[in-house]
């Protein structure tokens, strides 16, 4: 009877060991499968985040280019407007000067001579 119990116990132990080995193998395979799924989800999230970052950076770059183009156009308009105003001021000043010279030609000639003499004196003094 003791031999029978030893054989039975040995068989039961082998069966239990196989069951534990099988359960452990299944558990490890299940854990590996879960780990793969988690890694794929993480990879997908990272890829989505990188793609979203690239898209946001591209949008910001496009907006910056548009803004720079708008600034350039506004600067060009402002410059053109300033040139137009300067032309008008110059024409107006020229007309005013012509009127004054027409009204007081002798004073204008004396003033022009004095300015010419002063410029000549300053240039001669530099040499």
In a domain, 100, yes or no: no
The residues, ordered by sequence, that sit 6+ positions from 117 with a Cβ below 8 Å of its Cβ are: none
Question: Which tens digit of pLDDT belongs to each residue from 83-108?
Answer: 888 888 888 888 888 888 788 888 88
In a domain, 101, yes or no: no
In a domain, 17, yes or no: yes
DSSP string, 23-70: HHHHHHHHHHHHHHHHHHHHHHHHHHHHHHHHHHHHHHHHHHHHHHHH
Question: Which tens digit of pLDDT belongs to each residue from 4-53?
Answer: 677 787 788 888 888 888 888 888 888 888 888 888 888 888 888 888 88
How confident is the model at residue 32, as a pLDDT? 87
In a domain, 72, yes or no: yes
The b/e string for 62-75 (b: 16+ C-beta within 10 A; e otherwise) is: eeeeeeeeeeeeee
Q: Work out how many domains the chain is built from and give that number.
A: 1
> In this structure, are residues 100 and 108 in contact, taking their beta carbons and an 8 Å threshold?
yes
Domain housing 81: 2-89
Query: How many angstroms separate the CA atoms of 31 and 22, rounded?
Result: 14
């Amino acid at each position: 009877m003791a031999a029978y119990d030893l054989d039975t116990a040995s068989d039961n132990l082998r069966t239990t060991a196989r069951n534990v080995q099988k359960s452990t193998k299944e558990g490890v395979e299940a854990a590996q499968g879960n780990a793969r799924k988690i890694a794929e989800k993480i990879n997908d999230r990272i890829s989505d985040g990188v793609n979203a970052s690239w898209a946001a950076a591209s949008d910001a770059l496009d907006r910056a280019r548009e803004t720079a183009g708008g600034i350039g156009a506004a600067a060009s308009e402002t410059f053109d407007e300033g040139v137009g105003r300067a032309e008008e001021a110059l024409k107006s000043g020229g007309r005013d000067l012509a009127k004054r010279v027409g009204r007081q030609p002798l004073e204008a000639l004396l003033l022009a001579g004095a300015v010419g003499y002063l410029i000549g004196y300053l240039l001669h003094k530099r040499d």
